[in-house]
Structure 1
Amino acid sequence: MRKIKPSVLPRTVGPWFSYWIEYVSAESLGVARKEWFKSSVQSILTGNSFARRELDSIQVADLTEFLETSVYKKFSRSESAMLRAYFHTALVAARNLGGAKNYSAKEYFTNSQIITRKLVFAGLAIFVVFAVFISSLTLDRVVRKQEDLLTASATVLRDNGFGVAVAFAEDIYYTYLNPAKVGGEPTADPNGDIMGALPKLNILTDAAVANNSAWGVARIPNKVPDRLSSPVVPVDGEGEWTATKIQVNGNTAIWIAQIRPDDVHTSYWATVTWFDPKLLAFAQVPGTKIPEFTDLPDRTGQVPSNLKPFYVAGLNGGFLMRDSRGGYQLGDKIYQRLVKGKASLVTYNDGSFDVVKWGRDFVGGDIQSVRQNMELIVDGGVSQVESEDQSKWGWAWQGVGSGKNLVWRSAIGIRADGSMVYVIGDAMSAKSLGDVLVRAGARRAILLDMNSAYANGFLYGPYKGGRKIDPASTRSPERFWIPSERDFIAVYAKSPAAKAD
């Protein structure tokens, strides 16, 4: 390309645009393309007032108006883009040679491109601010609540309206990035980590002393259930009940057994805990934030201080209320409408409990609390899981549920004798959870929370510092000992541990 001397710059736009094409080599454009540029530029500038404008007066806005009125309407989109690039390059060249002093753009953008860029930059700014906000809240939960990073992030995002995105990410994570192991055997023996005691039975008499007059004294205990059947050939000890250290009136009140959740994921344990209501009392404790109602009374997130000496176990509650598809009652007040047909955990002021289908099953008076969560996963001793994609078995979006994800899950069932079974375990789908509940003798059962941060149960009482019901659980027993954000089920001893003389 020949060198342009500043002295040859014309004063007006038209001659410069015509002049500039001569300095573009035919080799770089091609002869035909160069001729097209020459004829096109000439036809645009002929009789156009823009051609008579002073070169030094041209600004970016002037070029934009010229293109919109004289180029875009006459040429195709691709041709307009080439002409736009030509006119912009010519003005930049003029500026570099000392002319077109008011043309400041290094790169030309159309109005739509400018709007897009502004939107992109605004979006990036919002994203950065949002990311910093989410990161700070996530870090706070990791430090304060002892949650792992993934769980803390998911909780913060759900709390801020991104439940759909979290559900989608979890589906990808559990299905493709971190799927449950298939086959194999558990690395730990069944009940191997359970620090229990020799079972104690005093089946002759009721207790003489009540820890709380509303509960009454401990009665003659129920018979410990038969050994649980496993979905696979059992190893030694699988399905056998192990006594814990929790004793009431000289009787072991809580027993634990472990079986495989299904015949595919055989390296995992599903942990089943049996609670004898003849010896134990149950109550639901609101968390400091969940259930999500602002006018709940005395929401310390802890068991009452006067009952803490009798507090022997804490079990996680249900989903967030907005995801539970049900209602909530505490005392005589209904804070969210109780929905007919929903699974309902009912606790009474006398310490008893029931799992019912609301509107069908009998519910007594003097209610301590009602917590609804989805639908009964077991009814009439039969698992109700027909499809794991059904939205009734987990967080759902557009009708597709998370029931198929193999994650930590939990549930409470009531047996025919009125006793409670609490099931918790890793790598469980909705189907395997329902199947284990049936094996544990549940006649009716309600889903509780899921994922490693929320599906947790702990023993207290004689266990100093608490003990995990499932040794593989990731949360500390402090969760339901110190103030808890989420509601939970408290289990109390009705009478002192030892039999009264």
Structure 2
Amino acid sequence: MTTTAPERPIDTPPPPPPRPNRRRRWVAAAVVALSIWPLASYTQALTYPGNASFAVRTVEWVRDNGGGGLVDLVESIWYRQGPTATAPDPAGLPRPSATSSAAPAPAPLPVLQGATPVPGEGVWTAGQAAPGGTPAVYTTFIRPDPQHPSVVAGVARFDQGLTRTQVIAGTREPTGSAGPEGAQVPAVARSALVATFNSGFKMKDANGGYYADGQVRVPLRDGAASLVIHRDGTATIGRWGRDVTAGPDVVTVRQNLDLIVDGGRPVPGLDVNAFGTWGSARNQLQYTWRSGLGTDAAGNLIYVGGKDLTLASLADALTRAGAVTGMELDIHDNMVDLFTYRHDPSGALSTATKLLPNMPGPADRYLVPDQRDFVAITLR
């Protein structure tokens, strides 16, 4: 037997079409509205003037928008494992230089005890010479970590009697706008350029201040590790308020955290980092790119930078290089680089050489506008 549906009366109207879900529309509209600001902010970060990699722009945008704790956690996990190799990667070692100098080179730095010496370890190579023929910079590499003999730190030593030091502001750091140099080495200074290298942490993380052009741009902190540039172009590293203070002779002060080398020795407590003296908790234990700056007993300026360094091994590297006072500069990938320069007979730049071949920065960094402040060394 078959059945049929009951017929609807001919005058009964059809059921109305289903109404759209208003709640969904409101939710979708809210999602779109809430996405506009982050998208615009991120786009601005990616397109902000000045050299910076996509990764650096992204990480710094996350930090600047409430994600600092997350970034710190990820970095703590990512960098907590030390290197396992027993010898340095040859690709990360400087190539022997054919450059010679009539001036005697400084005494070699001590090699790592208990490990097979690496060719060139601790042996100084002459760089750009002053008009009289004396090298203004010498470079070498050392191994500062006995527990990890594959770790290499590059070292550059600048004769401050032959050079001048200048901090050049970037498009974002330390004050949010470039200085008169345009966030790069000025064209008029390039014929005398000896080297450039990275500065310190972003100012919001540096626990210190910045003084330039006769103005305190970011308030200076008593006790902070300070790079102080004097009117004669010499640089001093010291503790603000104890070793260095404001005065008519001071043209620039760039502070970053606290000293890590004092009196020729690493400062106690670097492996503990109590109260976040040297940055976020446990960052002192991370095996990562690090850099530092110090002065030796003769007044030479000493830069150290390398991969897989902890805060303690960075301080050890500075002391092994002869620093009596030293401070940490910037850390992590794409933040640590030093370039030395050569010139052709006309004085034009001919080559730029990384302190270590595996330093990640492009060779023309600081010759084009950069987001971060940096240090330029020129001949007198």
TM-score range, shorter chain: 0.7 to 0.9
Partner of 1:467: 353
Partner of 1:412: 293
Partner of 1:493: 379
| One-letter amino acid matched to 2:221 | V
- Report the alpha carbon displacement of residue 260 of structure 1 after superposing the two structures with TM: 2.2
Q: Distance in 1 between matches of 2:326 and 2:289?
A: 17
8 A contact 2:168–2:376 mirrored in 1: yes
8 A contact 1:340–1:358 mirrored in 2: yes
Q: Distance in 2 between matches of 1:332 and 1:491?
A: 21
Partner of 1:150: 55
- Report the alpha carbon displacement of residue 118 of structure 1 after superposing the two structures with TM: 5.6
Distance 1:183 1:232, change over 3 A: farther
Partner of 1:30: none
> Rg larger in 1 or in 2?
1
Q: Per-residue displacement from partner, 1:269-324 (whole Å, max 9, x unpaired)? A: 11111111122221211122211255x75251123443321111001111111111
Partner of 1:482: 368
> What is the identity percentage for the equivalent residue pairs of Structure 1 and Structure 2?
27
Which structure's residues are more often helix, by fraction? 1
Q: Which runs of 5+ in 1 are unaligned?
A: 9-55, 57-97, 203-222, 495-501
Say whether 1:182 aligns with 2:87: no
Residue 128 of structure 2: which of 246, 265, 268 is its match? 246
Q: Distance in 1 between matches of 2:117 and 2:166?
A: 36
Say whether 1:352 aligns with 2:234: yes
Aligned-partner SS, 1:239: coil
Distance 1:4 1:318, change over 3 A: farther
Residue 126 of structure 1: which of 6, 9, 34 is its match? 34
- Report the alpha carbon displacement of residue 254 of structure 1 after superposing the two structures with TM: 1.3
Alignment of 1:83-162 (within 5 A): 101=16, 104=19, 122-123=30-31, 126-127=34-35, 130=38, 134=42, 137-138=45-46, 140=47, 145=51, 147=53, 149-162=54-67
TM-score normalised by structure 1 residue count? 0.65
Q: Distance in 1 between matches of 2:107 and 2:214?
A: 35
Q: Distance in 1 between matches of 2:265 and 2:51?
A: 37
Q: Distance in 1 between matches of 2:115 and 2:52?
A: 38
Say whether 1:327 aligns with 2:229: no
| One-letter amino acid matched to 1:188 | P
| One-letter amino acid matched to 1:126 | L
- Across the aligned residues of Structure 1 and Structure 2, the Cα RMSD in angstroms comes to 3.4
Partner of 1:266: 149
Distance 1:251 1:105, change over 3 A: closer
- Report the alpha carbon displacement of residue 137 of structure 1 after superposing the two structures with TM: 4.4
Partner of 2:346: none
- Report the alpha carbon displacement of residue 144 of structure 1 after superposing the two structures with TM: 7.3
Q: Which runs of 5+ in 2 are unaligned?
A: 344-348
Alignment of 1:336-347 (within 5 A): 336-347=218-229
- Report the alpha carbon displacement of residue 378 of structure 1 after superposing the two structures with TM: 1.0
Aligned-partner SS, 1:475: coil
Residue 376 of structure 1: which of 259, 264, 281 is its match? 259
Partner of 2:78: 173
Partner of 1:213: none
Q: Per-residue displacement from partner, 1:133-186 (whole Å, max 9, x unpaired)? A: 636744x58x97362x433321333345533332233223334xxx45313211
Residue 101 of structure 2: which of 181, 185, 199 is its match? 199
Q: Distance in 1 between matches of 2:186 and 2:67?
A: 34
- Report the alpha carbon displacement of residue 484 of structure 1 after superposing the two structures with TM: 2.1
- Between 1 and 2, higher relative CO (CA 8 Å, sep ≥ 6) is seen in 2
Aligned-partner SS, 2:79: helix
Partner of 1:444: 325
Q: Distance in 2 between matches of 1:484 and 1:196?
A: 32
8 A contact 1:288–1:299 mirrored in 2: no
Distance 1:104 1:293, change over 3 A: closer
Q: Distance in 1 between matches of 2:241 and 2:137?
A: 31
Aligned-partner SS, 1:158: helix
| One-letter amino acid matched to 2:311 | A
8 A contact 1:388–1:431 mirrored in 2: no
TM-score normalised by structure 2 residue count? 0.84
Say whether 1:230 aligns with 2:95: no
Aligned-partner SS, 1:168: helix
8 A contact 2:94–2:357 mirrored in 1: no
Q: Distance in 1 between matches of 2:4 and 2:148?
A: 77
Q: Per-residue displacement from partner, 1:179-201 (whole Å, max 9, x unpaired)? A: 45313211218854254512331
- Report the alpha carbon displacement of residue 458 of structure 1 after superposing the two structures with TM: 0.6
Aligned-partner SS, 2:167: strand
Q: Distance in 1 between matches of 2:284 and 2:364?
A: 29
- Count of matched residue pairs: 367
Q: Per-residue displacement from partner, 1:399-434 (whole Å, max 9, x unpaired)? A: x24222211111101111111110100111111111
Deviates more, 1:334-343 or 1:250-259: 250-259
